[in-house]
Structure formats: structure tokens, C-alpha cells
């Protein structure tokens, strides 16, 4: 009951001095709002990026060529020197061939479910008359298209026959349809589109329209016609147009269920390098899992968010000093009240508790207002950036706890000073 009475007394005191109480809470409000906004923004970005990367297949393994880290040279004198990587161009004999992929799948028959393959045709501009849309043309196989998890709005996806016959057909985004065909997806299917790559035009027939979704890792222009979207082409078509008959610089392994991707990366590197790249002077195979990339990104974003939040938390210290200052002023103004309470039998402990509770209530109110303000600011910022809002529960709990701590820490000295007042001197105070 004593605690409840002290809370009610604290609230009545705040109502009696509204402007002074608000100004005192301002430091707490700004500090808490800053911390909550930064942590919520960080969590929202982390959540969106993680979901986006997970949708690509968190258990998939990306395998590609990389320059060998060192090369050794021995002189006639017998002295050996180690140099950095030789920056050489990838030759046809360095590429990963179809035969290597088949061999890898046979060797790891229980681990490898399939391959997601792609061939980039580069960035270009799709045109029909004076209308245009920016695209990034990408040749993909069936598995790669499945990993993309596209929502089909009209037409069909790329078929096995398209792949085998290297047909000049494409899947385009609804943004491209908006720019070139007045947003009519059904009308766009079956139409041809010319794509300018550098100084060369290539013509494709649209067979399907997919719904464009921002992955959370790309810049979206405010002007829809300036947003670059992916133009999906059959893999063999892209390889033919690139005159690539040798192999791949990079591919993605779709692992079977239950496989630990990080451990499998090491096995793939050891097998491929030991079998095919042991005698290659310039290149070797490197493998990494989406799981490890997500983990690294989460750790980095979390560290940055905490560092910035810690800097913003300095304003909480300033707010705490403000609370201590106002409590000292309040004690001076209420000296006769304290003396009267002590003369009527109030103990030092009850006086101390009263003023500590006032400080806690002051900080908690400031904390609640700061939390609401911080979430509001973060919500606006995340929506403007195109991310889903993900309030930081950890930040909210931390902020509430810190508000109580500030109330106790900065309220104790004034409260202790009030408790130690001599009742006779207090009653005589003018």
C-alpha cells in the first residue's frame, strides 16, 4: 500500500508542475526515443535482409572460382619467394564444366539435390518505340527459377523445352509491363521486346509476367521507369548469346534436407581443388553457404546498431542528471512538508521511498513517451526505405529497465538527503 500511495503522490506532484516535469523528462524522452528508433531500424533491416536471403535458400552452397592466395617461385640459388595472387583472366580451361558438375553430384549423391545455374547477359534497356525500361538479363535453369520463388501474374514460366531448344523467350516483371504495355500483363504475353546491350539489340518474346518484389538489398528509384528489374532468359539461350561453351565461373548447390551447409562447404572445396584445381596455377574453388553469410551480416548489423544506440544513450545520462537536479529543487521547496511528516512519525525509510518513487515515476513516464516516439520515428523511416517494421522488443525491455535504473540511481541521493533532514530544522525552514 505504501508504494501505491507514493506512486499516487508522485503523479499528483507531476500534475501540479506539468511544464517543469515535462522539461525534466525531455532528456529521458530524447535518449529513449533515439535508442528505440535506432534498434528498431536495425532489427527491421536485419529481419528483411535475413528473410530475403533465407528465401534464396539458407542451406544452399555457392561455389565459384577465386584467385589462388599465393604462388611460390624458386630461384636457381634454391631460395624460395612467395608472392600475392596473380591477377589473371579466367580462361576456358579454368571454368567448371558440365562433366565436373556431374562428377561432383555422383560423388556427393546423398548431399547434392541439384544445381542452380545462371549466366549473366548484363544490364540493358528494353524498348518498344519511345518507351523504355531498365533490365538486368539473366539466363537461368529450372532450379534457379524455382529458387527465385516468383509470383506469376500472366503467361507461363520458362519450360524445359525453352531450355533445351535455347528459345529467345523471356519472363519480365510487372514494372516493365507498366512502362512498355500500359500495365496490361495479359496483353504483354506474346509480344516481342527489343533489349539494347551496349551497342547491340537482341529481340525476345515475352512468355510470362512475374510480380516484382524489392528484395530488401537493392535501391528502388522513386521513378518506376528507372527501377532495374530482372529479365529471365533460358540458361542455354544466354550461354549461346555469350558464346560460352566451356563452363561456369560460379554455381549454387542445392543441398539435400538435413545437410549442414557450413561443413559441406569444406568438403566441396577439398574435393574439387584436390581433383581438378591442384595443378591450376591461378585459380581454385571456394565454397560458402548462405547460412554463414546471413550469420555474418546479422552480427555486423547488430554490432553497428548497439554501437550507435550506446552513443545515443549518452543523452540518457544527461536526462538522469536533470532528474537529480529537479529532485534537489523539489526537496528544497518541500522542506516544511518533510519536517511535518517526520514530526508525525514518518521514518527515514518512508521519506526516502517517497522521493525515490517520484524519481522512478518521472523516468518511467519519460521512458514510455520515448518508446512510443522512437517506434513512431522508426516506423516512418523503415517504410520510407521499403522495409517491414520490426519493433525491437529487446530495445523496449532495455529502455524500461534503464528508465527504472536512472530513477533509482539519480533519485537516491536527493531522497537520502530528504530522509536525513532534522525535523525541527525542517519545520523552521522558510
Which positions of the chain have pLDDT values less than 70? 1-2, 6, 9-10, 13, 49-59, 69-87, 215-225, 291, 305, 309, 312-313, 386, 423-430
What is the predicted pLDDT for the residue at 276? Answer: 92
What is the predicted pLDDT for the residue at 217? Answer: 45
In a domain, 14, yes or no: yes
Q: Where are the beta strands (DSSP E) in 129-228?
A: 131-140, 152-155, 169-173, 192-197, 200-210
User: Residues 294-340: pLDDT tens digits?
Assistant: 777 777 777 776 777 677 667 777 777 877 887 777 777 777 777 77
What is the predicted pLDDT for the residue at 125? Answer: 93
Q: Where are the beta strands (DSSP E) in 315-390?
A: none
Q: Are residues 351 and 423 in the same domain?
A: yes
In a domain, 197, yes or no: yes
In a domain, 261, yes or no: no
Domain range enclosing 217: 118-241
Q: What distance in Å separates the CA atoms of residue 361 and residue 356, rounded to the nearest whole number?
A: 9
Q: Are residues 301 and 422 in the same domain?
A: yes
In a domain, 338, yes or no: yes
Query: With b meaning 16 or more CB within 10 Å and e meaning fewer, what string describes 205-240?
Result: ebbbbbebeeebeeeeeeeeeebbbbbbbbbbbbbe
Domain limit, last residue, from 199, 218, 241: 241
User: Residues 328-343: pLDDT tens digits?
Assistant: 777 777 777 777 777 7
How many domains, the chain?
2
Q: Are residues 321 and 394 in the same domain?
A: yes
Q: Are residues 123 and 206 in the same domain?
A: yes
Edge-to-edge order in the sheet of strand 250-255? 112-116, 250-255, 61-67, 283-289
In a domain, 110, yes or no: no
Domain limit, last residue, from 241, 258, 279: 241
Q: Are residues 225 and 302 in the same domain?
A: no
Q: Are residues 302 and 422 in the same domain?
A: yes
Strand partners, 133: 126
How far is CA 425 from each of CA 154, 352, 355, 417, 421, rounded to the nearest angstrom?
87, 18, 19, 13, 8
Assess contact for 235 and 117: CB atoms under 8 A. yes
Assess contact for 302 and 389: CB atoms under 8 A. no
In a domain, 257, yes or no: no
End-to-end CA distance of the chain: 32
In a domain, 71, yes or no: no
Q: Are residues 36 and 131 in the same domain?
A: no
In a domain, 280, yes or no: no
Amino acid at each position: 500500500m505504501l508504494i501505491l500511495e507514493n506512486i499516487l503522490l508522485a503523479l499528483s506532484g507531476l500534475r501540479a508542475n506539468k511544464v517543469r516535469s515535462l522539461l525534466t523528462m525531455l532528456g529521458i524522452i530524447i535518449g529513449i526515443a533515439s535508442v528505440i528508433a535506432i534498434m528498431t531500424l536495425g532489427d527491421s533491416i536485419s529481419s528483411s535482409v535475413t528473410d530475403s536471403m533465407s528465401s534464396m535458400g539458407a542451406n544452399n552452397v555457392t561455389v565459384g572460382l577465386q584467385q589462388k592466395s599465393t604462388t611460390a617461385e624458386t630461384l636457381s640459388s634454391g631460395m624460395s619467394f612467395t608472392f600475392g595472387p596473380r591477377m589473371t583472366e579466367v580462361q576456358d580451361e579454368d571454368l567448371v564444366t558440365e562433366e565436373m558438375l556431374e562428377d561432383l553430384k555422383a560423388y556427393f549423391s546423398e548431399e547434392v539435390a541439384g544445381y542452380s545455374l545462371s549466366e549473366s547477359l548484363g544490364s540493358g534497356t528494353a524498348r518498344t518505340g519511345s518507351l523504355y525500361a531498365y533490365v538486368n538479363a539473366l539466363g537461368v535453369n529450372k532450379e534457379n527459377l524455382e529458387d527465385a520463388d516468383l509470383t506469376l501474374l500472366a503467361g507461363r514460366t520458362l519450360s524445359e523445352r525453352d531450355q533445351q531448344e535455347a528459345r529467345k523467350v523471356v519472363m519480365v516483371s510487372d514494372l516493365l509491363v507498366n512502362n512498355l504495355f500500359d500495365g496490361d500483363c495479359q496483353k504483354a504475353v506474346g509480344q516481342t521486346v527489343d533489349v539494347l546491350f551496349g551497342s547491340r539489340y537482341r529481340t525476345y518474346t515475352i512468355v510470362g509476367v512475374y510480380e516484382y518484389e524489392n528484395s530488401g538489398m537493392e535501391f528502388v528509384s522513386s521513378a518506376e521507369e528507372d527501377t532495374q528489374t530482372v529479365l529471365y532468359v533460358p540458361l542455354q539461350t544466354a550461354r549461346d548469346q555469350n558464346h560460352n561453351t566451356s563452363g561456369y565461373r560460379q554455381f549454387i548447390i542445392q543441398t539435400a534436407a538435413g545437410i549442414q551447409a557450413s561443413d559441406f562447404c569444406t568438403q566441396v572445396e577439398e574435393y574439387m581443388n584436390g581433383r581438378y584445381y591442384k595443378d591450376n596455377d591461378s585459380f581454385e574453388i571456394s565454397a560458402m553457404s548462405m547460412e554463414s553469410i546471413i550469420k555474418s551480416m546479422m552480427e555486423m548489423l547488430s554490432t553497428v546498431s548497439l554501437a550507435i544506440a550506446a552513443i545515443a544513450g549518452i543523452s540518457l545520462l544527461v536526462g538522469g542528471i536533470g532528474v537529480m537536479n529537479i529532485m534537489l529543487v523539489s526537496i528544497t521547496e518541500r522542506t516544511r512538508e518533510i519536517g511535518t511528516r517526520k514530526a508525525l512519525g514518518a521514518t527515514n525509510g518512508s521519506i526516502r521511498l517517497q522521493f525515490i518513487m517520484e524519481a522512478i515515476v518521472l523516468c518511467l513516464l519519460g521512458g514510455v513517451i520515448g518508446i512510443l516516439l522512437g517506434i513512431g520515428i522508426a516506423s516512418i523511416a523503415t517504410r520510407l526505405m521499403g522495409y517491414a517494421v520490426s519493433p525491437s522488443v529487446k530495445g523496449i525491455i532495455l529502455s524500461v529497465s534503464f528508465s527504472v535504473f536512472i530513477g533509482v540511481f539519480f533519485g537516491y541521493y536527493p531522497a537520502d538527503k530528504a530522509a536525513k533532514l532534522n525535523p525541527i530544522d525542517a519545520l523552521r525552514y522558510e
